[in-house]
Copies of this chain bind each other. A is one copy, B any other.
Amino acid sequence: MPKKIDHEARKQDIAKATWQVILDGGIEAASVRNIANEANLSLGALRHYFSTQEELLDYAMELVKSRCEARIMQVVQQNYPPKQLVTKVLLELLPIDRESMAEMQVWFAFTLHLKYKHGKAFRQTDGIREAVQRALVFLSDSGQLKKEKDLAKETEKLYALIDGLAIHRFLNPELFSGEYTAEILTEYIDDLCKK
């Protein structure tokens, strides 16, 4: 039997090449040829691991998701005090460093791609809204919130703030540093809590 290759590891390499291509040229540049080039593979070789473009994009997106979830789980397992924990978790949703910036762009490009592909049938499946909600419920249960607020609306505000900050940092990375972005979110959460 021939060369034994770790398919999963190889697929991850290709997924990372996909991220790089999207990072450079957006989803419009994510052609199978561009990705194969970036991964130093021939078309046929690429096709051997992903038989269709959709399959490849799905995989690249899932990998972003699972990596983000892993980062969050790592934060959760260390036990910080409530407010600090929530802040650290939500900071993981922002594109602070180069890596999370890439992930965010992939997530974004891909979400748009799915939105237009499925039209009215599209539903967001990343559990970000739910995560934000859980964070607020946790703060509330811990008695940290300033006063009894409408948790549903507070969730939407915080969630919107997070995605808005993410987009603004994405569009203006040099005017909008990672530290400044983090500072704004931290301050917002602090305002929600009792002094």
A interface residues with partner B (beta carbon < 8 Å): 25-29, 111-113, 115-116, 122-124, 153, 156-157, 159-165, 167-168, 170-172, 183-184, 187-188
Contacts and interface: CB of A to CB of B under 8 A. Distances in A.
A119 B162 CA distance: 23
Contacts of A172: 123-124
In the complex this chain forms, how many copies of it are found?
2
Given A116-B25, A153-B187, A187-B153, A165 B160 contact: yes
A188 B160 CA distance: 12
For the residues of A in contact with B, the DSSP-based class is helix
Given A28-B28, A28-B116, A163 B156 contact: no
A160 B153 contact: no
